[in-house]
Amino acid sequence: MPVCLTILGSGSAGNCAYLETSHVRLLIDAGFSLRQIRKRLATIGRAPENLTGILVTHEHSDHVQGLARLSEELGIPVYCNRPTQEAIEYQLKARLTTRLFATGATFDLEDVVVETFSVPHDAQDPVGFLLRTPDGNIGILTDLGHATKLALERVRRANVLILESNHDVKLLQDCPHRPWSLKQRILSRHGHLSNEAAAEVAEEIMSAELQQIYLGHLSRECNRPQLALEVMKKRLETIGAHHVSLVVTSQSIPCPTVALRKPADITPQLPVPPALHDAPFINPAPHLQLPLW
Ligand SMILES: [Zn+2]
Ligand SMILES: [Zn+2]
């Protein structure tokens, strides 16, 4: 079975993605109600009861809304760091079943190797992820005010990248519904990436192995999908990255599932010695193909 990724929804009001391999069924963040998550999983024939775990980036409500019920009622383990656990439990008045990691740690969830790394954002201890699956690497880089060297280095090995493209700077500055203090927070080095900043990240980390970028965490009021897409498209054209496909995520509907496929289907794959398992990653799948289901 190929590794499959479905963005169940992404935007400033809720974020949740579903990753399935032969051995695990994971959510990355749970920023919708359990009812919504159930509904969206049902569109791909899945149910929350069968989840193996939930990886959590940070405690902001657009990432944790459904966690209390998923953890307390269904007993799904939550993978996060301690400051995030404490903040979520305080906020949701819930007692989570957690598997704690230290930020910066790398750990195995069956056939997925989870690399965690710190990101600059106004939360207790926010993280990004690089998920190394048997069929390719998935980078999760949302909710950060600026791209640090560390974050860039980690997602440089991604074959698929979920990248924040939060706002258009002018739309944000002109937005009549947001107080000045909130605009400052979003624009700060611990806020969110603008469309231009996302394009910078893409340029910085571009590689022949990067096949797909999801533009995620779009602000409803201060961005437009078409704007975000145009800025990124233009940048990819400028740098000649014609091999990368772009998908703008939606807050309200899941993206089509993407099946990561190894080049082993086309060319023989070199075995990776077990000793390399925890060593710096050597990508066994340089020509990942991403057909849509
Ligand atoms: Zn967020
Ligand atoms: Zn956040």
User: pLDDT tens for residues 39-94?
Assistant: 999 999 999 999 999 999 999 999 999 999 999 999 999 999 999 999 999 999 99
The full DSSP string for 23-76 is: S-EEEE---S-HHHHHHHHHTTT--GGG--EEE-----HHHHTTHHHHHHTT--
Whole-number Å distance between alpha carbons of 240 and 180: 38
Ligand nearest to the CA of 59: 2
Q: What does the buried/exposed string (b/e) look like for 151-165 if buried means 16 or more CB atoms within 10 Å of the residue's CB?
A: beebbbbbbbbbbbb
- pLDDT, tens digit (0-9, with 9 covering 90-100), for 217-252: 999 999 999 999 999 999 999 999 999 999 999 999
Query: 62 alpha carbon to ligand 1 midpoint, in Å?
Result: 5
Query: 242 alpha carbon to ligand 1 midpoint, in Å?
Result: 29
Query: 1 alpha carbon to ligand 1 midpoint, in Å?
Result: 31
Query: 4 alpha carbon to ligand 1 midpoint, in Å?
Result: 23
Do residues 79 and 106 touch, judged by C-beta distance below 8 A? no
Do residues 285 and 132 touch, judged by C-beta distance below 8 A? no
- pLDDT, tens digit (0-9, with 9 covering 90-100), for 88-123: 999 999 999 999 999 999 999 999 999 999 999 999
Tell me what the mean pLDDT of segment 272-283 comes to. Answer: 34
Query: 159 alpha carbon to ligand 1 midpoint, in Å?
Result: 23
Tell me what the mean pLDDT of segment 157-173 comes to. Answer: 96
